[in-house]
Amino acid sequence: MADDDGIRRITIRYVHDDAGLRQEFDQRLALFLRAHPPHCRWDITPLVDALDQLGRAIPSMDVTLRSDAARAELRVSLDFGLLRIPAETATLPPAP
């Protein structure tokens, strides 16, 4: 989706261990990237590698990509939740 300033944005759910959802993520990412003109291309290899590595510890997250054609820039943000530490292990030992 593009706004009046030529900024395109998409949010895609990334799930590490679900092949169907991972395939959907890959397809939507590819469609988003192909919608840009040839002069606006990015090497997303570091992004895919980072998601794969992070996905081992945080298996589900929302990935938002925001492209600004005027600056030929692609911004990425991740949104995910973290588990709480159980109360019995959350306390720190007293300071010396």
CA dihedral 22, 44, 46, 4 (to 10 degrees): -100
pLDDT in tens, 52-91: 999 999 989 999 999 987 777 899 999 999 888 887 765 6
On whether the pTM is more than 0.85, the answer is no
Give residue 39's pLDDT band: very low, low, confident or very high (50, 70, 90).
Answer: confident
Check residue 69 and give its pLDDT: 72
Q: What pLDDT sits at residue 5?
A: 59
According to the model, what pLDDT value does residue 91 have?
63
DSSP-based three-state secondary structure for 14:
strand
Region 40-44: mean pLDDT is: 87
Question: Quick one: tokens of 82?
Answer: 């973290």
